[in-house]
Amino acid sequence: MSQSKVIPFSELFAEMSPEARARVDARVRETVARLRLADIREAIGQTQLVMAAKLKLGQASVSKIESATDMYLSTLRRYIEALGGELVISAKFPEGTVIPIDSLSSVPKKARKRTPAKKKSSSGSTAAVSTKASSRSRGSGRSRVSSRSSSKFARG
């Protein structure tokens, strides 16, 4: 029996034509783009326990993040950064234009103190507005306003 020689991929890749290299690169990018978060984590050699420690979460929370079909960008960014990567977001248009979206870049948030919203009463004094919306009207015929519902991005 003859033994086959094992050739490292780097040598095979170096011998490929530029067209073949481009095809391989495109296929690798396509495959990586389809990987789930858990696949990426495993490919990098991290466990959920290590990720949990880096993210200061429990292992079950890491599992939930990895199986989520929808999440906040900040959660995804923290996860990717814990893997040693950087989250890059771009918009791709039908004609092929790709525009990076920098407004969602990782900018540290300034710590904000939460203070209750103030509401002027009819006498001119201010009072804290309730953080829960009331479905009942008070004597004035107005319902209390939630501090969240006064935001232009409030949920319905």
Q: What is the pLDDT along the chain (156 residues), one digit of tens a residue?
A: 567 788 888 888 889 999 998 998 888 888 777 789 999 999 899 999 999 999 999 999 999 999 998 999 999 999 999 999 999 999 999 999 999 998 775 555 555 566 666 555 555 544 444 333 333 333 444 333 333 333 333 334
Residue 122 domain flag: no
Cβ-count burial 102-122 (b if 16+ within 10 Å, e if not)? eeeeeeeeeeeeeeeeeeeee
Please return the burial class of 38, using the count of CB atoms within 10 Å of its CB with bins 0-12, 13-18 and 19+.
middle
Secondary structure class of 123 (helix, strand, coil):
coil
Q: Supply the range of the domain harboring residue 59.
A: 9-104
**How many domains are there within the chain?**
1
In a domain, 125, yes or no: no
Q: What is the DSSP letter of 115?
A: -
